[in-house]
Amino acid sequence: MKAQKLYPFVPSGDDYELAISFFESLGFTKTWGDDQLCGLSMAGAYFLLQNHENIEWQQNQMIVIEVDDLDAYWDMISEKDLEKTFKGVKIKKPTDYPWGREVHIIDPAGVCWHLRAGEG
Asked if residue 60 lies in contact with residue 106, where contact means CB atoms within 8 angstroms, the answer is: no
SS3 84: helix
Residues in the chain: 120
Note the pLDDT of residue 76: 96
**Domain 9-117 falls in which CATH fold?**
2,3-Dihydroxybiphenyl 1,2-Dioxygenase; domain 1 (3.10.180)
Note the pLDDT of residue 119: 78
List of the chain residues with pLDDT < 70: 120
Which residue ranges make up each domain of the chain? Answer: 9-117
Q: How does strand 37-42 pair with strand 45-50?
A: antiparallel
Note the pLDDT of residue 120: 57
> How far apart are alpha carbons 11 and 113 in whole angstroms?
13
Contacts of 110 (CB under 8 A, 6+ apart): 13, 55, 58, 59, 88
Q: What is the pTM of this model?
A: 0.95
> How far apart are alpha carbons 77 and 94 in whole angstroms?
12
- CA 15 to mean position of chain CA atoms: 15
**pLDDT (tens digit per residue) in 31-63:** 999 999 999 999 999 999 999 999 999 999 999
